[in-house]
Chain A
């Protein structure tokens, strides 16, 4: 369908608003992290920095525990993403390629788990983990993050399995390939976009998780970025330069990661959203 001039104008204008809404705050945070403190809080914000300094980054990386938080978060998020991918792929194969009793019931149960209020299990999880000695460990966070990422990931998996023609597997079976070989050499490579989508979903969920990380981790050396950064907010009496540098460095890895696999994620989301 052709767009007239008014239509084009409306589209361009809406796109500009949308871009401003999403990108402008990010740009301001990133560019301001290089500004001198007095420019950061100047009455009329500068779109392009007039001053340039690395002092906020030096302070952040040199004197705060930020690097430790960063490493902890990366480790926890990477492990959570890996475990989620493995478990969601196993479950995906079972749910969408095998016939067994109770399949639909179990699948629905997993969907309920997705909407489960996390605050309800916070207290029991805390008490349970205290009993088995998991408090203050990275493992505790990985377990919790996988739990929250798994239901949605299995749900997304359905789309990716549905997009694979069954004939491929049947042909492989006729050729004498075992089920394991078929799965490893035929399905997994074809599922790569799906695996990327699930990995980024799990990574991002873990990277941004605050509630459980704040309760299950006690020692400062084990804190993740969200909890560590929130501690810095209170610790230094609102040092905006430091916080903006911290915010910029917390966004950077997910932005880079997302740059590589983001399109798979969006494809998975748009296709998985509706039956």
Chain B
């Protein structure tokens, strides 16, 4: 944070800030705040035809959506999706960050290029994994057979639990390097003499990790987990392009259900009601997570 020194405040600062912030904040207001308010408004109307206003229907949409099984099913899938991603991504990212925090020739290059999976478009991620996991001609099945893990090719997207698990692994593959690079920052902030002192006291690598790295890494990990939860809840494209929510709704998360309701069934009111409920949940979750897990963080 820039140093906060009231004595430096100049009378012209306020006007200049207004001028500089007019465009960026105006844009965010027009594309985030106004649509959010508009989403609430749409959710109170029965809109079936795009562009029409639709009659005011009060909380009917909410009542219909919240009593339908599909919403709760999708919420459950979303919960599995978010928790699965958080676990897999965090474990992979911690391991990768620990490796990248070591000193070795080429460490700078490794730190830059590990993020390759993040800079490629999702649709390419989809092509890569559909190809590699394909039961005919994909290379993962022959590989698993050759090391004796399975005895005949399996369809990674044909059974429900398998499809969701595959999606979680693919999405984690895509995101773990991004998280790992951010964790690196936390690791690099840990003073080296702590480790040296511990080593002098005879602590081995595992003991050092448990006594120093893990506790000191936790604040960073917490911020990233909260952020990761919110971000992976939002993920739509990878699921849509690989399974479209299938088989039989097994990977239908809330964003997928909202998209289908709005742009396949053209029930804008219902979709908006679901998205308002979803965003209230996400905001609630964010507050809850930060409050429960890091009471110190809220004071600021």
| Chain A residues near B (Cβ < 8 Å) | 1, 3, 7, 11, 14-15, 18-19, 21-23, 25-26, 28-29, 40-45, 87-88, 90-91, 93-101, 103, 106, 110, 112-128, 130-131, 143-144, 146-147, 150-151, 154, 158, 161-162, 166, 179, 204, 207-208, 210-211, 215, 225-227, 229-230, 233, 240, 243-244, 246-247, 250-251, 254-255, 258, 262-263, 265-266, 269-275
For the complex formed, measure the closest distance between the CB of B57 and the CB atoms of chain A, giving whole angstroms: 16
> Is B14 a contact of A101 with CB atoms below 8 Å?
yes
- Looking at the assembled complex, report how far the CB atom of A238 sits from the nearest CB atom of chain B, in whole angstroms: 8
Instruction: Tell whether B233 is near chain A: CB-to-CB under 8 Å.
Output: yes
Q: A18, A42, A95, A144 — which one has the most chain B CB atoms within 10 A of its CB?
A: A18
Q: Say yes or no for B27: interface residue by CB 8 A criterion.
A: yes
> Which range contains the number of B residues in contact with the other chain?
35 or more
Q: What is the chain B residue whose CB lies nearest that of A32?
A: B131
Q: Is the CB of B181 within 8 A of A270?
A: yes
CA gap between A103 and B184 in the complex, in Å: 30
With beta carbons under 8 angstroms apart, the residue of B14, B127, B262 that contacts A229 is B127
> What DSSP secondary structure best describes chain B's contact surface?
helix
- Interface positions of B from 231 to 281, Cβ below 8 Å from A: 231, 233-234, 236-237, 240-241, 254-255, 258-259, 262-263, 268, 271-272, 275-276, 278-279
User: B121–A274 contact, CB under 8 A?
Assistant: no
Q: Which of B28, B32, B186 is in CB contact (< 8 Å) with A274? A: B186
Q: Which residues does B use to contact A, with CB under 8 Å?
A: 1-4, 6, 8-10, 13-14, 16-18, 20-21, 23-25, 27-28, 31-32, 34-36, 38-39, 42, 50-51, 95-96, 99, 102, 104, 108, 110-124, 126-132, 136-137, 139, 142, 173, 177-178, 181-186, 188-189, 192, 195-196, 199, 205, 219-220, 223-224, 227, 230-231, 233-234, 236-237, 240-241, 254-255, 258-259, 262-263, 268, 271-272, 275-276, 278-279, 282-283, 286
Closest beta carbon of chain B to A21's beta carbon, Å: 7
Cα(A28)–Cα(B35), bound, Å: 43
Which residue of B is nearest A88, CB measured?
Answer: B24
